[in-house]
Amino acid sequence: MYDPRINKVRETLRDKGIDSLLISNFFNILYLTGFKTLTKDEREAFVLVTKKKIYLFSDERYLDGSSKFEVGSLKLELKLIKPEKGLISHLQEIVKEEQIKTLGFEAEDLRFNEYQKLKESLSSLALLAMDRLIVKIREIKDEDEINYIQKACEIGDQCLSEITRIIKLGTTEKEIAFKIEMWLKEKGHDIAFDPIVAIDANSAVAHYNTKDGEGVVKNGSVILIDFGVKHKDYVSDITRMAFFGRPSDEVKHVYEVLLQAQEKTVEKVAYSDLLKDIDDFCRKLITNNRFPNYPHSTGHGVGLEIHEYPKVSFNSTDRKQVNQIFTIEPGVYFPGKFGMRIEDTLVVEENLKARTLTKFPKSLLII
């Protein structure tokens, strides 16, 4: 799994005439080596890819002091970071030993103060900013990744099927979100992100914060549920609508238009090369019905992160490719009244059509 990924990085570096690449991003390190620390928000590991070797830098909280770290056939040379010998010292030794002249770094991830330290301490090197090198490689999923995401979608479908059955009059947004997380944890799974559960007027806020919410299910309520599941570090994303009691004619009409737009857009994937064309197609289906344009992209890639490449948006430069996985999630929002969004996770197959991985029914769900 990991050797082909490292090979792709080395091929790119060779094509660009670059000797080495320093990787600082948590998810890119996980993708290339299978190594992960407890949190993505702290600098607890780095990886250096050179022409000859792959080096993993971390400390004794994660490494046992041995000289090698192996994942399948991939062998990494370990460099322990200690108070008396940090990353820079290790890099200086490696640069001298391998006679490295150029060092690429992740321009979208390396912090400015980290860049300054590298520049000051490795003055003999040419430091070259690499723009999204690994995240673009991650855009195309391999068989294992597709299987992991598909399993995450299946688990999400099961969860949603059970959670919608426990919603009753007086149930709060926070209760529903809590039940989703508890259902997953009790079955040994993890949540991909904090669930969005928004009721009535709150559902008109596209990225509503349920943690601060006080919405309660009432007769006639519109309920938006947006969540994802993490399986073997890979995530899914799904949004469904539920309606408590008898929905009004207006609510039913809006949902019918939105559902038709979402399903037609999924079909449109087969006939589009540029992903921005899919975004444009979907928006026109919404606005041609005199509904307001939605304030977010039509879709986004999913993988190790809930938002990654490709982008399905008006300014996307991405093209459709086999084995991309992304969402289609148009919405309709009426501030102060209600909002709706329908979202599926899709994979682009060999025939360039999209196969829907999230299977929970999209017919009008009345509780």
8 A C-beta contact, residue 348 and residue 323: yes
Burial class (CB in 10 A: 0-12, 13-18, 19+), 361: exposed
Taking a C-beta distance cutoff of 8 angstroms, is the pair 306, 228 a contact? Answer: yes
3-state secondary structure of 209: coil
Could you give the CA distance from residue 55 to residue 68 in angstroms, rounded to a whole number?
9
* DSSP symbol at 314: T
Q: What is the largest CA-CA distance in the chain?
A: 73
Burial class (CB within 10 angstroms; exposed 0-12, middle 13-18, buried 19+) of 192: buried
Q: Which residues contact 98 (CB under 8 A, 6 or more apart)?
A: 19, 20, 50, 51, 52, 53
60 residue type, one letter: E
Predicted local confidence at residue 60, as pLDDT: 84
- If you search the block for the tokens 């993890």, which residue do you land on? 190
Q: How much is the pLDDT for 68?
A: 67
- Cα(283)–Cα(277) distance, integer angstroms: 10
242 membership: H or E segment, kind and range: strand 238-243
How many other β-carbons are positioned within 10 Å of the β-carbon of residue 74? 16
Question: In this predicted structure, what is the pLDDT of residue 59?
Answer: 86
- DSSP-derived secondary structure letter, 274: B
Structure tokens at 202: 């709150």
Domain boundaries, the chain: 2-137, 143-356
**Could you give the residue ranges of the DSSP H alpha helices within 138-203?**
143-163, 173-186
CA 121, 124, 127, 133 torsion-angle sign: negative
Q: What is the pTM of this model?
A: 0.95
311 Cα distance to chain centroid: 11
Q: What are the per-10-residue average pLDDT scores of the chain (367 residues)?
A: 91 95 97 92 94 92 71 84 93 96 96 95 94 95 98 98 97 98 97 98 96 95 98 98 96 98 98 98 97 97 98 97 98 98 98 97 96
Q: Are strands 229-231 and 234-235 parallel, antiparallel or unpaired?
A: antiparallel
For 258-269, b where at least 16 C-beta lie within 10 A, e where not — what string? bbebbeebbebb
Question: How far is Cα 226 from Cα 241, in angstroms, rounded to an integer?
Answer: 9
CA distance to 31, 44, 49, 55, 56, per residue, from 81 (Å): 21, 9, 17, 12, 10
At the fourth CATH level, which superfamily is domain 143-356? Creatinase/methionine aminopeptidase superfamily (3.90.230.10)
Taking the C-alpha atoms of residue 36 and residue 45, their distance in angstroms, rounded to an integer, is 8
Give dist(CA 228, CA 240) in Å, integer.
Answer: 12
DSSP three-state, residue 212: helix
Identify the CATH number of the domain defined by range 2-137: 3.40.350.10
Q: Which residues pair with 82 in a beta bridge?
A: 85
Question: For residue 106, what pLDDT is reported?
Answer: 97
Residues 6+ apart with CB under 8 A from 31: 5, 134, 138, 304
| Run of H or E residues at 355 | strand 354-356
Token reading at 254:
């809006």
Q: Give kind and range of the element (H or E) at residue 11.
A: helix 2-16
